Amino acid sequence: MRTFINKNKLLSKSFENKFFSFNNNDTMLLFKLFNKYLRRNSKIADIGGGKKPIKNLYEQTKISNEIVYDGYDISKQELETARDKYTNIYELDLVQTNNKFVKKYDLILCINTLEHLDNVTNGIKNITLMIKDEGRIYIKMPCKHALFSKLNLILPNKIKNKVMHMIFPSKKGDGFLAFYDKATPIEIIEIFKKEGFLLEESNYVKWSSYFTFLFPLYFVWRIITLLQNLILKDYCESFELIFYKN
């Protein structure tokens, strides 16, 4: 089974590279952010990283242990799993309106977290309370236009996770319930704008590996995405955004 899946993934990616030129770099702005704004005295908040802190997932960010790197997550247990990777850890429910943030950060990183909130507007409001005046907020998340996101909303979480972990063993530990309350670039940009933040840069990623395990399925997915790309102004599979205070 694993050999069959790997051969289909290879075929799908080869076909994609040969016939399509869609952007597939989903960390372009993340590394750009660090190259431009990371300093020795930077204070960074990783929101939602849990047991998989961003500096551990992407070692190319070159975040040294001397830099303040605090972890925030709804699960203290998740944070404790990677306790040695964080300077401080804080249990945090982003949706709660009574959050009172004392610490301010130069950089805030929020990767694949907002789609799990049932009230993204509140979540973003709380995130903006944690940034310094000259700071930058980095957001990365899946887009609800993506076919996978739509299936994610339909399929029971237990079944979805079982299938995903079987096909993609590297994703074991992922698969938390997702709501996609506000999960398009236009929606996220508008919420930040209302909070007094401007978009510095965006990156729309129009590639996903979720359907590559079976080439005919990948092919159907790609035809659907071609139509979406023509019809939807902000179609993408996932996206990166960087914001700063106006």
DSSP string, 147-192: HHHHHHHHS-HHHHHHHHHHH-GGGBTB------SS-SHHHHHHHH
Instruction: Give the model's pLDDT for residue 102.
Output: 75
Q: Cβ of 80: how many Cβ atoms within 10 Å?
A: 14
Instruction: Give the model's pLDDT for residue 176.
Output: 77
Instruction: Give the model's pLDDT for residue 14.
Output: 96
Contact 23, 203 (CB under 8 A): yes
> Token pair for residue 175?
């698969």
Computed over every residue of the chain, the mean pLDDT equals: 92
Q: What tens digit of pLDDT does each residue of 138-177 get?
A: 999 999 999 999 999 998 877 767 767 677 776 666 667 8
Name the pairing type of β-strands 68-73 and 105-111: unpaired
CA distance 181 to 201: 22
Contacts of 108 (CB under 8 A, 6+ apart): 44, 45, 47, 127, 130, 131, 135, 136, 137, 138
Instruction: Give the model's pLDDT for residue 101.
Output: 72
**Structural domain boundaries, residue 88:** 2-245
* Cα-Cα-Cα-Cα dihedral sign, residues 146, 7, 25, 124: positive
Instruction: Give the model's pLDDT for residue 195.
Output: 97
pLDDT band at 116, cuts 50/70/90? very high
Instruction: Give the model's pLDDT for residue 22.
Output: 94
Instruction: Give the model's pLDDT for residue 61.
Output: 76
CA distance 37 to 185: 23
> Token pair for residue 149?
């996101």
CA distance 87 to 75: 17
Contact 48, 72 (CB under 8 A): yes
Distances (CA, A) of 186 to 20, 144, 240: 25, 11, 12
CA distance 241 to 202: 5
Residue 229 has pLDDT above 70, yes or no: yes
pLDDT band at 182, cuts 50/70/90? very high
Instruction: Give the model's pLDDT for residue 153.
Output: 92
Residue 78 has pLDDT above 90, yes or no: yes
The more confidently predicted of residues 163 and 111 is: 111
Residue 97 has pLDDT above 80, yes or no: no
Instruction: Give the model's pLDDT for residue 130.
Output: 95
Q: How many domains does the chain have?
A: 1
Instruction: Give the model's pLDDT for residue 171.
Output: 64
CATH number at residue 82: 3.40.50.150
Q: What tens digit of pLDDT does each residue of 17-71 get?
A: 999 999 999 999 999 999 999 999 999 999 999 999 998 877 777 788 889 999 9
Instruction: Give the model's pLDDT for residue 157.
Output: 75
Contact 221, 213 (CB under 8 A): no
